[in-house]
Structure 1
Amino acid sequence: MRRIKCEGERIGRAGDILRCGSLAYRVETDWAKWPDQMEHMTALNCCWGADGFLYVVTGKPDAPVVVFDRDGKYCRTIAQGRFGKSHSVSCTKNGTLLLADAHKSAHVIKEITTEGKEVRVFGTQGVPGDSGYDFDYLETLQKRGESPTGTRWNKNAASNARIDSIRRRGQPFCRPCGMIMTPEGEYFAADGYGNCAVHHFDADGVYVTSWGAPEDFRVVHSICMDRLGRLWVADRENCRVKVFDTKGNLLAVAEGNLSRIGTVFADETYLYAAELDGGVTLIGLDTLEVAAQLGVPGDGVFKAHGICADDKGNLYLATNKANENNLIRLTRIE
């Protein structure tokens, strides 16, 4: 099992430029042109479709997916009323979108068209997997005079208590965080807010198997597959990324100078680990070594809950903020 040491020097931005080694990006906080009624919309995650549009999830029932063109111009909103809390979005080889609904009473992942039409539902609406998860567990701890597990970055007692309540790996789903489709058409899901599992479904959407346990993961927050067929999984509260084959065998762990991992995304060259408390770490897919660590944890601007890249290597950060920095473009400088 390979250890990927994320221990490089971290440098904040200088003016509008974010640089690390040979990589440099221009920071554009106003790239996305939100309509007036969405001026302070929250952006949780995003992906570029094969149709050339950027699909952004907001977590809002009345605007679960907002669509932008390549110039950052607002185009349309889709899937209104279909999600309690749209948490993540990924594009499939079939041109559809996979969205996890992280609402406390949803427990489903939906595949929809780019027009918002429902194609397939994974899980059963309103029925959680039996992981022991208790949304109100903080009250139980307080009645016993106990405190939830403390972590360096997460100071939210209710959030930490909910994670503590997870006793075992449950069946799909309990407040899932994300799903991808592989080039072969199979599906892998990160079931993390109320579970501790990676789930595998075949190309027909039939459940195959799962792996994970409370001691393995503390919020399975995101999953992606690289061009070599490896699965990268964000172990958010443990501030690390785990790498598996499609059978669940552990191949590598990336850890060190990282904050909580919001999203993992891979292009042809790099794995991008978006850090929820500030920054982005790039790992070379061929070398399995850190290529750059952009930004410094604690930086209020670069709190990256979600990330994706376009075909020119520009990065798009969804910051989980309801302000002008909710969707940031980092334009690659050659």
Structure 2
Amino acid sequence: MTFVHRISVLALTAVLGVVALASGQAVNDLPNPYTTHQDHFTLPDGRTWGSTSAVDIAPDGTSIWVGERCGTNSCAGSDLDPVLQFDAEGNVVTSFGAGMLLFPHGIHVDGDGNVWITDAQGPREDAPETAGLGHRVIKFSPTGEVLLELGEAGVAGDGSDHLLNTPCDVITGADGSIYVADGHGGQGANATPDTVARIVKYDAEGNYLSHWGGWGSEPGQFRTPHGLAWDSRGRLFVADRGNVRIQIFDTEGNFQDEWKQFSRLSGIFITADDMLYGADSESSETSNPGGWRRGIRVGSAATGEVMYFIPDPAAEPGGTTAAEGVAVDANGNIFGAEVGPSQLVRYTR
């Protein structure tokens, strides 16, 4: 490619990103500079991948932590460890959490290497093995010691206090405060204004401080707040999946902005240099009309420009496909945690 041609391509990409930012118009033909590796990770002998939406990077910048649903789409009744750490070569180096989680959904690795997991289901009367589990966030040490629990195991909150109800994701702030994206049912056909859909804030010791949101589509409301990420300015980005947008807040929950150009995000990850990686695992003409394709969109958390797109390889996807969770290591490798295909995929540039 000549220098002039390359500049022209980059200019066109920028224009397309700005058009998408202004109008929400679907842009699926952005460059894809990434190579897909579906067989990078090796599980212990006899174990196969189940659904996973939870992936994050350890403080060393290269180790990968995953929350995996015990070979199926639930850990109910399983004796497998759902929380696994992989080295850069894709080998398991530690695992823990057997019997403690029903539906590992969101994951956050804090600056001390502690691993936070959200359990986004609760007990069912027809499944006695689920009793006393779910509806909580567990903070583990890197070796699997339980350090803190948010919510109450097996007890569904109503969105008014510290109790949680199918929490989707968790993240810690610069001062140690904890933020939980609470409520997985807001995008469903049966959702009502009473459906839990909020961000809950706790102090570093796990004491409830406040919450904001509520079910709906106005600024500051949510229909399944599914993923959380910070940018370099300390703004909290929320993947408001049911409303097909990102919402941006300050640390006290004051609304700052909303973006639609990254599509219908399930997962979101922002690097230290403000590159935003958004995983769309559910777009369809029903859930996100206008021709949006599923996949991972890469752009700027500073400007909102979308630069690259890794498309879902499924020509006619159904259900949930492509990455639902996304993380990026210090070398720029992208990791996509996939629920429907039940795999963890590595993308290199």
Q: TM-score, normalised by structure 2?
A: 0.75
**Alignment partner of 1:314 is 2:333:** yes
Distance 2:96 2:314 in 1: 34
Assess if the C-alpha contact under 8 Å between 1:43 and 1:322 holds in 2. no
Match of 2:46 in 1: 37
Match of 2:303 in 1: 287
Once structures 1 and 2 are overlaid, which stretch shifts more, 314-323 or 239-248? 314-323
Once structures 1 and 2 are overlaid, which stretch shifts more, 70-79 or 312-321? 70-79
- The aligned amino acid for 2:212 is W
Within a 5 Å distance, the mapping from 1:173-322 to structure 2 comes to 173-194=164-185, 195-215=196-216, 216-256=221-261, 258=263, 260-267=264-271, 268-277=273-282, 278-295=294-311, 299=315, 300=317, 303-321=322-340
- The aligned amino acid for 1:205 is G
Structure 1: 5+ residue stretches without partners: 12-19, 132-168
Q: Relative contact order (alpha carbons < 8 A, sep ≥ 6): 1 or 2 greater?
A: 1
Deviation at 1:283, TM superposition (A): 3.0
Assess if the C-alpha contact under 8 Å between 1:7 and 1:257 holds in 2. no
Deviation at 1:186, TM superposition (A): 0.9
- The aligned amino acid for 2:248 is V
Percent identity between the two aligned chains: 27
Distance 1:322 1:256 in 2: 25
Distance 1:297 1:212 in 2: 35
Q: Deviations over 1:254-274 (max 9, x none)?
A: 11572x321111102312111
Distance 2:50 2:179 in 1: 29
Deviation at 1:129, TM superposition (A): 1.3
**Alignment partner of 1:85 is 2:113:** no
Structure 2: 5+ residue stretches without partners: 1-19, 124-133, 186-195, 283-293
Q: Deviations over 1:202-246 (max 9, x none)?
A: 122211111111112111111111121010101112221111111
Assess if the C-alpha contact under 8 Å between 1:123 and 1:173 holds in 2. yes
Q: Secondary structure at the match of 2:98?
A: coil
Assess if the C-alpha contact under 8 Å between 1:109 and 1:123 holds in 2. yes
Q: Secondary structure at the match of 2:304?
A: coil
Assess if the C-alpha contact under 8 Å between 2:262 and 2:278 holds in 1. no
Deviation at 1:250, TM superposition (A): 1.4
Match of 2:190 in 1: none
Distance 1:296 1:81 in 2: 33
Assess if the C-alpha contact under 8 Å between 1:4 and 1:252 holds in 2. no
What is the total number of aligned residue pairs between the two structures?
282
Assess if the C-alpha contact under 8 Å between 1:46 and 1:307 holds in 2. yes
- The aligned amino acid for 2:242 is E
Within a 5 Å distance, the mapping from 1:112-151 to structure 2 comes to 112-131=140-159
Q: 1:25 aligns with which of 34, 47, 56?
A: 34
Q: 2:346 aligns with which of 324, 329, 334?
A: 329
Match of 1:160 in 2: none
Q: Secondary structure at the match of 2:211?
A: strand
> What is the alpha-carbon root mean square deviation over aligned residues?
2.4
Distance 2:205 2:172 in 1: 11
Runs of 4+ in 1 over 6 A off after TM superposition: none
Change (3 A) 1:33 1:225: same
